[in-house]
Chains A and B, each alone.
Chain A
Amino acid sequence: MSYLDSPGGGLRSWLTSTDHKRVGVLYLILMLTLFWVGVGIGFTMRLKHLSAGNFLISAQTYNALFTVHGVIMIFMFVIPGLPAVFGNFFMPILIGSRDVAFPRINLLSWYFFAVGSVLAILSLFTGNGPPDTGWTFYVPFSIRTSTNVTLAVFAAFILGMSSILTGLNFITTIHRLRAPGMTWHRMPLFVWAIYSTAWIQILATPIIGITLVLVMIERFFNVGVFDPGKGGDPLLYQHLFWIYSHPAVYIMIVPAMGVVSEIIPTFARKSIFGYKAIAYSSLAIAAFGSLVWAHHMFTSGMSDTAGLVFSLLTFIVAVPSAIKVFNWTATLYKGSIEMAPPMLYALTFIFLFAIGGLTGVIQGALGLNVHLHDTYWIVGHFHYVMFGGTGFAFFAALLYWFPKMFGRMYNPKPMYVAWAHMFVGFNLLYFTFLVMGTMGMPRRYYAHLPQFHAAHLIATVGSWILVAGLMILFGNFVAALFKGDQAEDNPWGGLTLEWKLSSPPPAENFAEIPTITAGPYSYNPTRTG
């Protein structure tokens, strides 16, 4: 009996379920809902730029929209997306376990997430209107503005609790609940990625919690921690904020890299190239990624020496990402490649993430950062990483694991059509952002100067094509959910443990815990090159 039916399919049995797979699906439903809210907001902002001046919405509304777009997409989709949905659903299965180490805490994490999301949405409709500071909540503006920053910040705080508990749960699970014979070097690379991510989650998230509490304290009691008039320093806030929020970028991207590392060997029918290099580069990214936060502050007036050090570390953290890209590419060499939808999306991830990473390298150079900082270049860069990277990896993961999760197979053809739309729309939109940034178009601008108008129009048209692609993609998933054929247990010919279970998996995963005797991608080749 599959986890979907046992112990019953009623709403209550879902909301009180401690089954890691059900918790994963609960996250998926909530996050996709929030994702579409974020898409709608982004789409509206692009419509505004059909005109250079006043159009469609007011400046105050526009400022609220980019704040809420950032808060939803970052705190409620991109950061928790892959670990909370696919980490929850597949990590225990991939290591041969029946559940996570603390199933009840796992459910509690989801409730924290749900409460945080509800509070964030509430902040839009209560108090003096939605926050208008940008998702970064920079002081002193976030302390002075009369909009509903306090509730939004508190929502982010609660979401942080959820993230910490999930991280704790995953680390314990990976250490304690691996099946016999599942040594560290036999773990699938997605598990390595989740493991590295979990460490960032528990080490860095408390800092954003403390920082956000400080913002609330300042708003209520005006203590002056960040107020230069009282001996405080606004830059202290930026340091505290980015000590979490930069590593958070790696919480977003490392699991995405893990997903791609699963998909490519399956569809190339061979071992991943450089297993250890990929596994340890995840750890290296987690470690070095924690030491580069101040590259968000090169123009803030911090010391030039700090700029020197943080720029150097930024270039170093780019190396492990480059290593992964080369290893994925090399994995294709002499494979037997099937261009199924998950593979196409995973390879697209590599291309878009490479652009995101390389633009990141360019803006990591101090002198170039001075010009590019706070322009559309930055907006383009992080959409390439976050949407082109994590977003496409999320879609790839969904395409890869959907038959396993829901026991239904989707029609692959519309997925290629969706891909074509999304690929064209995405690049039209965000590559134009990069160009606009070099021309000096500042981010978070309601009105824009005439020299940027043509580019804004191109980007807006791109956003239409992109959203059309997204609709085809998700429309096809929904259709499959209701009308899809029964999925095979192993539709892609994968070797990792989830493909040895029925589709959808039974409630406790394994009737008998398997004993592992080989690495995750041993395709028993005819000969070794």
Chain B
Amino acid sequence: MPFLAQASSVSVQTDRLFLIALSICVVFLLLVTFFIIYFCIRYSRKRHPEPVDVEGHALLEVIWTVVPLALFLVMFYYGWTNFSTMRHPPPDALAVQVTARQWAWSFKYPNGKQTDQLYVALGRPVKLVTQSLDVIHGLFIPAFRVKIDVVPGKHNYVWFIPWLLGDFDIQCTVICGVSHSAMLSKVHVLPEADFKAWYFSDEAVSRLAPIIPPKGQGSAIVSLLSVKACLACHSVDGSPSVGPTLKGLFKSRQTVFVDGGERVVVADEEFLKRVILRPEDELVKGYPPIMPPSVLSKSELEEVVSYIESLGPR
């Protein structure tokens, strides 16, 4: 592919196939275009006022049926072998569990480490096993030439061997709602020693900046909010987003829907804990009803709520 790094083992194979297929197609196109233009000039009414009728030619029909078919079958065959490579991960691949939800990615490693960006070691095969918590998403790493739909109820996978050091984009490719185009992440390819140091360190979450840059203090808690995908919908600096901002939320008055009616409540500690655990019970008016039930542990919930308290009333 033009303008795109070949950062995985399969990308070279895919690009070679693309070049071959593209060349065949360009030759076809040029041939047809050349003949159309040539005939239009050579047999224009001025130069060639009396047409000569030609109703058809059986041999030509056979040739231009069989030749394209043969070339197409070649493209089909290499398309299949290329695909087949992508479908057969080596048994020693590092299995990372990818969880997609509106609108965030989360990566869980065999040792329990969880991040919002993917870390992999140069030259070591990685298998990403996906799951979705809500709608269909698409996991796409262009530099690796891999893509898989993340479908609720299925555990689709991709695998790759990273070949280049660096940071590469991860993008969602299936329309999943208002922040679809913000459902981004990165894959960081590290030298194996660096990867091991990171992998076996005590750092609970990513050591690099979260994908959604935190605007506010308290980087540890902001990292937690990022990993748990809260920041996909809630800002911490008062800027508007899909859900209410966390700044000034504490002790604010909110209208909520309870049992089919509306009620005004004060967002105190009790209320915040209730809605984080079971958002669908008390939907806040003015926001879409899409917040998933809590993915926080008990202690994390305490941390988050006290952080919201620290952001203060308005």
Q: Taking beta carbons and an 8 Å cutoff, which residues of A are in contact with B?
A: 59-60, 63, 132-134, 138, 140-141, 144-146, 227-229, 233-235, 268-271, 273-277, 298-301, 304, 307-308, 311-312, 315-316, 318-319, 322-323, 325-327, 329-330, 332-339, 347, 350-351, 354-355, 358-359, 361-362, 364-371, 373-375, 435, 438-440, 442-449, 451, 523, 525-529
Contact = CB atoms under 8 A, between A and B. Distances in A.
Given A63-B180, A338-B45, A365 B142 contact: no
Interface string B134-147: 11101010110111
Given A371-B147, A373-B173, A374-B147, A329 B32 contact: yes
Given A141-B135, A274-B56, A318-B68, A368 B180 contact: no
Nearest to A133: B175
Contacts of B35: 329, 332
B39 A337 contact: yes
B53 A332 contact: no
Nearest to A355: B29
B73 to A, nearest CB: 7
A362 B22 contact: yes
Contact of B178 (A59, A355, A366): A59
B231 to A, nearest CB: 16
A330 B58 CA distance: 13
Nearest to A297: B149
B181 A273 contact: no
A141 B72 contact: no
Contacts of B288: 146
12 contacts: A299-B138, A325-B32, A330-B60, A336-B50, A339-B44, A350-B32, A361-B72, A362-B21, A362-B22, A371-B142, A375-B140, A528-B54
A200 to B, nearest CB: 22
A326 B29 CA distance: 11
A334 B14 contact: no
Nearest to A445: B181
Nearest to A358: B25
A22 to B, nearest CB: 36
B118 to A, nearest CB: 16
Nearest first, the 6 closest Cβ-Cβ pairs linking A and B are: A228-B153, A440-B142, A367-B82, A365-B79, A366-B83, A525-B53
B76 to A, nearest CB: 5
A373 B147 contact: yes
Nearest to B82: A367
Interface string B9-26: 010011001100110010
B29 A323 contact: no
B80 A354 contact: no
Interface in B138-193: 138, 140, 142-143, 145-149, 151-154, 156, 169, 171-182, 184
Contacts of B14: 367-368, 370-371
Nearest to A377: B1
Nearest to B38: A332
Contacts of B176: 141
Nearest to B142: A440
A330 B32 CA distance: 10
A304 B87 contact: yes
A351 B154 CA distance: 42
B161 to A, nearest CB: 16
B198 interface: no
B151 A528 contact: no
A335 B48 contact: yes
A354 B29 contact: yes
Nearest to A447: B181
A370 B123 CA distance: 22
Contact of A374 (B32, B68, B140, B156): B140
Given A145-B177, A312-B76, A332 B145 contact: no
A438 B4 contact: yes
Given A271-B54, A438-B2, A444 B36 contact: no
Given A140-B134, A271-B54, A365-B75, A439 B64 contact: no
B32 A138 contact: no
Given A228-B152, A440-B140, 18 more contacts: A63-B180, A145-B177, A228-B153, A235-B154, A271-B55, A274-B61, A299-B149, A301-B156, A315-B75, A322-B65, A330-B60, A334-B43, A337-B39, A364-B75, A365-B78, A367-B17, A375-B173, A449-B184
Contacts of A276: 56
B289 interface: yes
B209 interface: no
B142 A138 contact: no
